[in-house]
Structure formats: C-alpha cells, structure tokens
Amino acid sequence: MKILSWLLAVLAVYAQDSLSTIRILQKDVARLCALRGRGHADIGSEQAVRYIQKRFQSIGCELRVDTFPLNVYRIRRARLWISPDGRKWRRLRLGKDFIPLGTSPAIEGLWEIDTIPQRGRGWLSNKALRTAYAEAVQAKVAFLMMRDKKLTASVSTHPDRLPVFCVMDTLPLFRYVRVSLHGEMYQTVGWNVSARLQGRQSDSAWVVGAHYDHLGRVEGVTFWGANDNASGVAVLLSLAARLKASQQSLPYDVWFVAFGAEELGLIGSQFWVEHPPYPLGRLRGMLNFDLMGFGEKGVAAVGALDSPLFWAKVDEVRQALSLDIPLLLRPTAPNSDHYPFHEKGVPAIFFYLQGGPGFYHDINDKPETLTWRAAYPFLRWMEALLRQP
Ligand SMILES: [Zn+2]
C-alpha cells in the first residue's frame, strides 16, 4: 500500500510537471507566432530576437547577440487570376489556391497557357518541379505553373531565372492567366542569439540550437511557422529554464543558440561555426531542435547514423530514463542548423518529432494545431543528457 501511494505521488508530480511544461511551450509558441511570420527583412524577425533575448535574460543566462549580413529577395506582390475563356476571371487566393516559388523574378501580364513548353508562353506542367524547371528554362517559357496537392512556400537570397507558380490540383481547368509578381532585394542583417549557462567545467561545452526565423508574409498572408520552428525555440527556452533551476548539477557549459536565417540556407548557423564564441574543437556535441510540436510517431534523429559512438551516449541516457519513444535514425543531411557543425567535425544531431497533419511551410502551420505529444519526455531526455557527467 505504501509503495502504491508513493507511486501515485510520483505519477502526480510527473503529470503536473508535464502539464505546466506544455503550457509554457504553448505560450512561447503563441508569442513567437504573433510576430508576422518572423520573416527576414521584416520587423517580425527583429521582434522575435527581442522576445528570445528577454526570455533568456529572465531565465538567467549570459547573453551574446551576433549580427551577420543578409541578402534577402522578398516577394512583395504575387497575384494570379485564371480564366477558361479570357472573359470570366477568378482571382486565386495566395496560400490557399496558389503559391509563388520564393525565387520567382518579377512578371506582369496576360498569357495563354500551354501544356507543352513553348518559348514565351506560360507552361502548365504535371512533372516534378526540378525536371519541369530545367525543361522550362531550356525552352525559354515565360513562366511555369505546377499542379500540386499541397502548397509549400519558400524564401530565397536572390531571384532565379524563371517565375514559378504552384497551383492546387483541385482548381477547375483554365486556359488563360493574368499574373502580377514583384520582388525586391534587401541588404539587411540577421541575428544569432547565444545564451550560456555555466557548468562546473568550462573546458568543454554543448551547443543546443533552434532557428527562430520563418517565411514572413506575402500579400498580407502570414506563414505562422508554429511547428517550424517556434516549437523548437520554445523547447530550447524550456530546456534552458529547467537546467538553470538546478545549475549546480550542470557538469559542462551549455550554449543555447537561437539561429537566424535558417530558411534562407542555414546562414545563421554557418556564421556561428565560422565565428564561434567557443572553440569548436572543445564541443561535446551539437543538438538541434527543428519541428518539435508533435511526436505521435516518435523522434527522428538526423545524423545519428554518422556518429554511432556519439549517438550511443545520447541514447544511453534515454534508456536509463526508460523513455519509450519510437526512434527513427537517419544519416545527416543539409536540412537544418546541425549541418554546418557536422561539416566542421562536431558530432551533431538534428531532432524532430514526427507525426501531426503534415502542415509544412504553409498557412496552416498554426499554434493551435500542435499536439506536443512527445515534447515533455523529449525535454527530460535532453535535460538528463546535458546533466550527464
Ligand atoms: Zn525549420
């Protein structure tokens, strides 16, 4: 009976801690998502930096903010109308019916659409984007349209050669389109916010990172970026707060880094490894959080297969906690901020929590869709790992 009541008490503490942790994660995500999509060359990114700085300061971390130069190509206007006959027009909704590729250069006018690529004409293609793009450039078409099941937005540091519009494959057939797309180049700056917690030994340190930037807004339509990656920043902040709460048990320094300009090509993390505030050769490892809002299908660890010894140490901690989370181990890939560290020889794992409805780089990636299914056990795992002597 005594054991039973002890067990119940432990479970109650666990449930309470889990609930209050998720509430804090939700609050951080809501605040970060209120910032106009945290776009580059936009006040949203700057406001996100200020929010993260304040949070780290209130946790009690030592702060350091680095700025780096940033070239951004920003699409300011993207309008598209379709017509079956050139008389009756329907204006398409950005984000719902169509999305321009972030590399689309300016274009303006009325066009007849072809289903084969022809010089100077618009081409509506069913092929894979990469194949269609190469063919379209070669055929010198005016612009490319792709039918797709899901619209995925992107951003770029510069315009490319060809305007590309992805349209939903549920749209009725059309023969004419009117397009109006304008973009501008911006020379601006990006920021990395690095926050340090001091451990007992400073001759060795961890880096834990998450990018705070997202795609911003186009034509007043916001890409919220709740899962990508307000969720990762929220987990980063909560991890820092939990470790600070009992800092005496922290064996090594931990650098928490909120990276900028990930969506533009890992620019912030690349800058960090090129101007490291801590010698890279003395890092124990890098842990990157990107897409942390779900977890029904477990945890994916990108890069686990590249550093098996490092991974074994990371996973040993999970096993010691008896955390029963399904794992997907993957080879590394240049798809998030762990990669510049990996290239510099630092063992680096990119964690993401799998599951959810698959909203990615679209207008549906909103705070209320996140389930936070695996966030709490994942946090406990990371916390124990960073406390491991
Ligand atoms: Zn991301």
**Chain segment 235-271, per-residue pLDDT in tens:** 999 999 999 987 677 999 999 999 999 999 999 999 9
- What's residue 40's pLDDT? 93
| CA 113 to ligand 1 center in whole angstroms | 34
Q: Which domains, ranges and CATH numbers included, belong to the chain?
A: 20-72+187-387 (3.40.630.10), 74-183 (3.50.30.30)
DSSP-derived letter for residue 362 is: S
Q: In this model, does residue 1 exceed pLDDT 80? A: no
Q: Give residue 2's pLDDT.
A: 78
Ligand 1: centre distance to CA 167 (Å)? 23
The Å distance, Cα 131 to ligand 1 centre, comes to: 25
Percent of the chain with pLDDT strictly greater than 70: 99
C-alpha 219 to ligand 1 mean position (Å): 22
User: How far, in Å, from the CA of 212 to the mean position of ligand 1?
Assistant: 8
Q: Is the pLDDT of residue 68 over 90?
A: yes
Apex 257 CA angle, 255 and 258, nearest 5? 160
The pLDDT tens digits of the residues spanning 153-202 come to 999 999 999 999 999 999 999 999 999 999 999 999 999 999 999 999 88
Q: pLDDT band at 6, cuts 50/70/90?
A: confident
Rounded Cα distance, 329 and 100, in Å: 34
Q: What is the pLDDT of residue 246?
A: 79
Q: With pLDDT > 90 as the criterion, what percentage of the chain qualifies?
A: 91
pLDDT at 82: 97
Cα of 211 vs centre of ligand 1, distance in Å, is: 7
pTM above the 0.85 mark?
yes
For residue 336, report the distance from its CA to the centre of ligand 1, in Å: 7
CA 115–ligand 1 middle distance (angstroms): 34
The Å distance, Cα 181 to ligand 1 centre, comes to 26
d(CA 319, CA 65): 36
Distance (Å) from CA 251 to ligand 1 centroid: 30
CA of 371 to the centre of ligand 1 (A): 17
